[in-house]
Amino acid sequence: MSKLTPVLSAHWDQKDSFTIDAYKRNGGYAAAVKALAMDPDALIQLVKDSGLRGRGGAGFPTGMKWGFIPQGDNKEHYLVVNADESEPGTCKDMPLLMANPHVLVEGVIIAAYAIRAKHAFIYIRGEVTHVVRRLNKAIADAYKAGYLGKNVFGTGHDIDLVLHIGAGAYICGEETALLDSLEGFRGQPRLRPPFPAIAGLYARPTVVNNVESIAAVPAIVANGAEWYQSMGTEKSKGATLYSLSGHVNNPGQFEAPLGITLREILELAGGIRNGHQLKFWTPGGSSTPLFTAEHLDVPLDYEGVAAAGSMLGTKALQIFDETTCVVRAVLRWTEFYKHESCGKCTPCREGTWWLVQILRDLEEGKGSEADLAKLLDLCDNIMGRSFCALGDGATSPITSSIKYFRDEYIAHVTGAGCPFDAAKSTLFAEAK
């Protein structure tokens, strides 16, 4: 039997999979009808019972998040879907929305009804023109079919869904920065508490969920909490999308129960590119501490990855072979964090700037061994002292790479710069 469990990806191989006709042909929107006939509290309980946890990186239980919304408060409630997928290595939500935008629309209808929200928003990153087209068309078609708008499915409930398109700021993936951005301000994170469940969009109770979390809901409603519970591990239930990229023979999306290992996924993907060996990898994007070949058998669930010293994150498995200079890789990620730092807090704004200076010197052979201590000291002053998780994430590649590859940093100091030939890491080198 296959180790893979396509649920979200089950119909992606149908050429018209993104259309409302195809989605309905495959059973789509039946879960919404079922959900709208249920009590909203029972729906929240169902999602709690399923064990579904946030797929945007943090892994917070989705049903619990919904349950935090105060009921009977006579205030507007909002549902906001985070489709700002920008964490380096993360590439699951965009192909999902390109191939099947309706599963998200159906998830939105169910979730909005459950938390008693009449207004929902999808905040999608702006650098994906065709994904925006597909999603906007799906929303328009759902309105035409009477699944959105006034009196959805003839049930008397009103649910409006607005697609909000970003403009290129990684920080807007942080949920409170996303809310500021959606309100029409610069996307900078807010002080918490109050949490969005109490004072979110327009200071009203708001649920912010990742695309994959909301897209998982229709199947849970259709098949039940027990079915979802039957996949995964003790505390990490269900199936999820693992995105494999980098120096492998066959990169791609693998939907599997939580707890699968990189060794198993690599076997399915035909292994590391021929003639090369695994050097380091990220389990869930660049903000999750690096792993090496010694972590091939770590169960890729929330607990397993944390116990091994990293985070499951977005399950973005970026694979680098032995041709890759870890200092170059880490420098480039650090440049990214510096560019994307919103500037609100000093540790992140100034810290990422200094990290780049030091790493650049090291990569160019102008550093010293003392720079390693300085890097770690700076990371110590950023981690846990920044306003939001962007600063924490910026330290992950640095501290983990120094932990596993200290000698390689030293080699940049004692030799005359970078000992690697960058050309050998390219795919073009492989083709020749």
**Cα–Cα distance, 280 to 319 (Å, whole number):** 6
Inter-CA distances, 305 with 26, 146, 242, 263, 283, Å: 35, 43, 14, 14, 8
Selected binder of another protein within 34, 49, 61, 136 (CB under 8 A): 136
Q: Which is nearer to another protein, 225 or 330 (CB)?
A: 330
Selected binder of another protein within 148, 225, 316, 394 (CB under 8 A): 316
**Using rule CB under 8 A, residue 89 touches another protein:** yes
* Closest CA relative to residue 422, chosen from 357, 334, 336, 326: 326
User: 346-363 and 326-340 helices cross at what angle (nearest 10)?
Assistant: 150
**Using rule CB under 8 A, residue 2 touches another protein:** yes
Selected binder of another protein within 47, 52, 69, 91 (CB under 8 A): 91
**Using rule CB under 8 A, residue 134 touches another protein:** yes
**Using rule CB under 8 A, residue 126 touches another protein:** yes
Least Å from the CB of residue 147 to another protein: 17
**Using rule CB under 8 A, residue 28 touches another protein:** no
Span interacting with another protein, options 30-38, 81-89, 293-301, 374-382, rule CB under 8 A: 81-89
Token readout for 196 is: 């969005």
E strands, 21-86, where?
78-83
**Using rule CB under 8 A, residue 99 touches another protein:** yes
Alpha helices in 224-325 (DSSP H): 225-229, 262-268, 302-307
**Using rule CB under 8 A, residue 324 touches another protein:** yes
Residues 199-228 interacting with another protein (rule: CB under 8 A):
202
Q: Is the CB of residue 277 less than 8 Å from the CB of residue 45?
A: no
**Using rule CB under 8 A, residue 332 touches another protein:** yes
Token readout for 272 is: 């590391």
* Closest CA relative to residue 139, chosen from 271, 253, 20: 20
**Using rule CB under 8 A, residue 163 touches another protein:** yes
| C-alpha R_g of the chain | 22
**Using rule CB under 8 A, residue 175 touches another protein:** no
Give the 3-state secondary structure of residue 394: helix
**Using rule CB under 8 A, residue 94 touches another protein:** yes
**Using rule CB under 8 A, residue 6 touches another protein:** yes
Selected binder of another protein within 243, 287, 395, 400 (CB under 8 A): 243
Least Å from the CB of residue 393 to another protein: 13
| Site size with another protein, rule: CB under 8 A | 93
Least Å from the CB of residue 64 to another protein: 27
Which residues touch 338 (CB under 8 Å, ≥6 apart)?
Answer: 352, 353, 355, 356, 394
**Using rule CB under 8 A, residue 176 touches another protein:** no
**Using rule CB under 8 A, residue 288 touches another protein:** no
